[in-house]
């Protein structure tokens, strides 16, 4: 079981409020991602759940019982740290065994769970090495192994992939998702990378300045962002925002169109501009369009390779049903 509820949880350091009171419910077995720019309080929120920081107010419930003042060791949660936080003086085996040793699990049971975890994580050949002799990806797996042997109520991940290089990141992302499918244990995952959030989460919690901007499934956030911040944060490349006369045509203060929802033509369309920088990814091409008079620059996506060069004139047509409308306060209309 791993249902976690935050009720009016807040945190301040001295006079500085990092997290104003917030409510959040995490269901058993859910993969929840906290995402937001750095300094948004997502890591602090995770540490509050872990018990590594005290809440300044509010209640944290784990499986229906108040865990607010229970020390981290007793909450039945496991955490994977950004720096992996492996014990450098212990072998991989001892690292993974450490939580079991602390819980006074019998030797045979320890051995069983360790070899199980090692197999799942492909660590069997490395069990007698020290962390210093492992690659970044392997260390990451040891940290995960240390977490799963405890059979915790929930896993907490604090930006676990940010120290890996890009290629490894994609691989580990899949492995963690895979692990979640198999274990069906609650996972709370903190990242600043919205791609990680979109690809892994059942539920995304978008945070800014300690405030929850929106909670929802990846596609909900993509299709119906609740406000300008979420609209701009989720999706890559960023959504285009247009204010002024053009927005008023749609009865809004600001309208937003994702680059993939703008059709490109060399001959006709309501918006006209010139091609600036183009980024060729092979499968897609992103154009930065200048001189539309709508915004500084618009980004549009074209499938495959399109024969447009810098300085060419281009016509753009937004897909009418994919236009997001926001009011003066930046909140979604409709």
Partner 1 sequence: MATQHSRSAARFMMAPAVVLLLGWMLIPLSMTLFFSFKKYLPLRGDSLGNGLDWVGFDNYVRFVSSSSFWPSVITTLLIVGGVLIITVVLGILLAILLDQPMWGQGVVRILVIAPFFVMPTVSALVWKNLFMDPGNGFLAHVYRFFGATPVEWLSQASLQSIIMIVSWQWLPFATLILLTAIQSLDSEQLEAAEMDGAPILSRFYHIVLPHLARAITIVILIQTIFLLSIFAEIFVTTGGAFGTRTLTYLIYQRVLESQNVGLGSAGGVYAIILANIVAIFLMRIVGKNLDA
Partner 2 sequence: MARAVTTQRKTINTIIAWAIGLLIFFPILWIIILSFKAEGDAIKTPIAVLTSGWTLENYGVVQERSDYAKHFFNSVILAFGSTILGLIIAVPAAWSMAFVPSKRTKDILLWMLSTKMLPAVGVLYPMYLIFIELGLLDTRVGLVVVLMLINLPIIVWMLYTYFREIPGEILEASRMDGASLREEILYVLTPMAIPGMASTVLLNVILAWNEAFWTLNLTAAKAAPLTAFIASYSSPEGLFYAKLSAASTMAIAPILIMGWFSQKQLVRGLTFGAVK
Residues at the interface with partner 2 (CB under 8 A): 50, 52, 71-74, 77-79, 81-83, 85-90, 98-99, 102-103, 146, 150
Q: What angle do CA 120, 176, 94 make, to 5 degrees?
A: 50
Binds 89: which of partner 2, partner 1, none (CB < 5-8 Å by kind): partner 2
Least Å from the CB of residue 55 to partner 1: 10
Tell me: does residue 51 bind partner 1 (CB under 8 A).
yes
| d(C-alpha 25, C-alpha 39), whole Å | 22
Pick from 142, 200, 145, 148: nearest CA to 169: 200
Tell me: does residue 54 bind partner 1 (CB under 8 A).
yes
Least Å from the CB of residue 60 to partner 1: 13
Pick from 202, 260, 204, 266: nearest CA to 230: 204
Nearer to partner 1, 15 or 165 (CB): 15
Binds 102: which of partner 2, partner 1, none (CB < 5-8 Å by kind): partner 2
* Burial readout 153-172 (b: 16 or more C-beta within 10 A, e: otherwise): bbbbbbbbbeebeeeebeeb
Least Å from the CB of residue 34 to partner 2: 17
| d(C-alpha 158, C-alpha 298), whole Å | 34
Tell me: does residue 132 bind partner 1 (CB under 8 A).
no
Least Å from the CB of residue 122 to partner 2: 22
| d(C-alpha 320, C-alpha 314), whole Å | 19
Tell me: does residue 71 bind partner 1 (CB under 8 A).
yes
Least Å from the CB of residue 303 to partner 1: 49
Nearer to partner 1, 47 or 113 (CB): 47
| d(C-alpha 66, C-alpha 167), whole Å | 41
Nearer to partner 1, 71 or 282 (CB): 71
Q: How many CA atoms lie within 13 A of 322 on its CB side?
A: 13
Length of the chain: 334
Instruction: Give the 3-state secondary structure of residue 223.
Output: helix
Least Å from the CB of residue 47 to partner 2: 8
Tell me which residues in 248-307 interact with partner 1 (CB under 8 A).
Answer: none
Binds 73: which of partner 1, partner 2, none (CB < 5-8 Å by kind): partner 2
Tell me: does residue 85 bind partner 1 (CB under 8 A).
no
| Residue selected from 53, 61, 202, 220 as contacting partner 1 according to rule CB under 8 A | 53
Least Å from the CB of residue 301 to partner 1: 43
Least Å from the CB of residue 156 to partner 2: 8
Q: Residues near 221 by Cβ (< 8 Å), separated by ≥ 6?
A: 204, 206, 214, 230, 234
Nearer to partner 2, 129 or 272 (CB): 129
Instruction: Give the 3-state secondary structure of residue 45.
Output: helix
Instruction: Give the 3-state secondary structure of residue 162.
Output: coil
| d(C-alpha 298, C-alpha 261), whole Å | 12
| Residue selected from 10, 21, 37, 52 as contacting partner 1 according to rule CB under 8 A | 52
Binds 54: which of partner 2, partner 1, none (CB < 5-8 Å by kind): partner 1
């Amino acid at each position: 079981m791993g249902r976690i509820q935050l009720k009016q949880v807040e945190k301040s350091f001295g006079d500085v409020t990092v997290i104003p009171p917030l409510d959040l419910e995490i269901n058993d077995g859910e993969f929840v991602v906290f995402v937001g720019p750095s300094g948004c309080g997502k890591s602090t929120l995770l540490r509050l759940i872990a018990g590594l920081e005290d809440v300044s107010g509010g209640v944290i419930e784990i499986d229906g019982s108040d865990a607010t003042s229970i020390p981290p060791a007793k909450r039945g949660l496991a955490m994977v740290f950004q720096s992996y936080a492996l014990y450098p003086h212990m072998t991989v085996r001892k690292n993974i065994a450490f939580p079991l040793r602390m819980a006074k699990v019998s030797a045979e049971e320890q051995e069983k769970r360790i070899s199980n975890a090692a197999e799942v994580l492909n660590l069997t050949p490395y069990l007698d090495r020290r962390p210093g002799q492992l690659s970044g990806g392997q260390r990451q797996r040891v940290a995960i192994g240390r977490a799963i042997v405890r059979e915790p109520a929930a896993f907490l991940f604090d930006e676990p992939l940010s120290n890996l290089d890009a290629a490894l990141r994609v691989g580990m992302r899949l492995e963690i998702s895979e692990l979640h499918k198999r274990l069906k244990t609650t996972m709370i995952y903190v990242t600043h990378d919205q791609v990680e959030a979109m690809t892994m989460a059942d539920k995304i919690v978008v945070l800014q300045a300690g405030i929850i901007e929106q909670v929802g499934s990846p596609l909900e956030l993509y299709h119906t962002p609740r406000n300008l911040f979420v609209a701009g944060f989720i999706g890559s490349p960023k959504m285009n925002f247009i204010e002024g006369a053009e927005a008023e045509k749609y009865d809004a203060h600001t309208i937003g169109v994702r680059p993939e929802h703008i059709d490109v033509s060399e001959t006709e369309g309501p918006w006209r501009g010139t091609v600036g920088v183009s980024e060729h990814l092979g499968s897609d091409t992103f154009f930065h369009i200048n001189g539309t008079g709508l915004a500084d620059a618009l980004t549009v996506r074209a499938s495959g390779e399109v024969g447009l060069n810098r300085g060419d004139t281009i016509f753009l047509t937004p897909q009418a049903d994919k236009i997001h409308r926001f009011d003066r306060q930046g909140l979604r209309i409709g």
